[in-house]
C-alpha cells in the first residue's frame, strides 16, 4: 500500500475514532418507558431527551426501579406487583386526555410515563394551560402522580434533559 494511502487511511480511522469518542456512550430507552409528543404548536421549544440512559445509568437504576416498582404493591396501593407494568396501558389514556385539553395545540408538550407517574415536559403559553394539562393527566385511572416540568413560553432553561443535536 503506498504511503499516502496508508497515511490517508490512518487519518480517516483517527477521525472516526475521535467522532465516536466525542459522541459519548450510547443512550437507549432500556426500560421501554412510554414517551410521546402530544402537540407541537410552540416553535423553538426545547425538545426533551426522553427516558434515555447509558448502559452505566441503566445498571445504577435497576435496583431503585425494582424497589420503587414493588413498594406500591407492598403498601397496598397497586394490584400489580410492579408499578412499571401499568405504564403501557396508562400511556394511550394519558395521550388522549392531554390531546383533548382546549388550547393544547398552541403548546409543545411531551409526556413520559414511569411507574404510574406522568412527567409533562415542553412549553405552554400560560400557567392556566399547564394546570389544565396536569389535571387531565391526573384524572386518568391508575395515574399516581403528575410532575409538571412545563415551561411558560420557549425562553429559558428547561428543567428536563434536552435532546442532543
For the chain, the structural domain boundaries read: 24-152
Neighbour-count burial for 120-147, b at 16+ CB within 10 Å, e otherwise: bbbbbeeeebbebbbebbeebeebeebb
The half-sphere exposure of 119 on its side-chain side, counting CA atoms within 13 A, is 17
> What percentage of the chain has pLDDT greater than the value 90?
67
Is pTM beyond 0.85? Reply is no
Query: Is the confidence at residue 128, as pLDDT, over 50?
Result: yes
Lowest mean pLDDT among 48-62, 69-83, 94-108: 69-83
d(CA 90, CA 85): 9
Listed in order, strand segments (DSSP E) in 3-161 are 35-40, 108-114, 117-124, 145-152
pLDDT at position 16, please? 44
pLDDT at position 89, please? 95
List residues bridging with 59 in a β-sheet.
none
Query: Is the confidence at residue 43, as pLDDT, over 80?
Result: yes
Q: Hey, what CATH topology would domain 24-152 get?
A: hypothetical protein tt1634 (3.40.1520)
Amino acid at each position: 500500500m503506498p504511503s499516502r494511502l496508508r497515511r490517508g487511511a490512518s487519518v480517516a480511522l483517527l477521525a472516526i475514532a475521535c467522532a465516536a469518542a466525542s459522541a459519548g456512550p450510547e443512550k437507549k430507552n432500556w426500560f421501554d418507558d412510554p414517551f410521546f409528543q402530544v402537540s407541537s404548536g410552540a416553535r423553538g421549544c426545547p425538545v426533551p431527551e426522553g427516558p434515555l440512559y447509558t448502559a452505566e445509568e441503566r445498571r445504577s437504576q435497576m435496583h431503585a426501579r425494582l424497589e420503587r416498582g414493588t413498594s406500591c404493591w407492598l403498601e397496598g396501593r397497586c394490584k400489580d406487583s410492579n408499578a412499571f407494568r401499568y405504564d403501557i396501558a396508562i400511556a394511550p389514556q394519558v395521550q388522549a386526555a392531554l390531546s383533548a385539553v382546549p388550547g393544547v395545540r398552541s403548546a409543545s408538550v411531551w409526556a413520559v410515563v414511569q411507574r404510574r407517574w406522568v412527567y409533562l415536559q415542553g412549553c405552554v403559553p400560560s400557567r392556566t394551560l399547564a394546570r389544565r394539562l396536569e389535571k387531565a393527566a391526573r384524572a386518568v385511572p391508575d395515574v399516581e402522580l403528575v410532575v409538571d416540568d412545563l415551561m411558560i413560553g420557549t425562553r429559558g432553561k428547561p428543567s428536563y434533559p434536552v435532546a442532543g443535536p
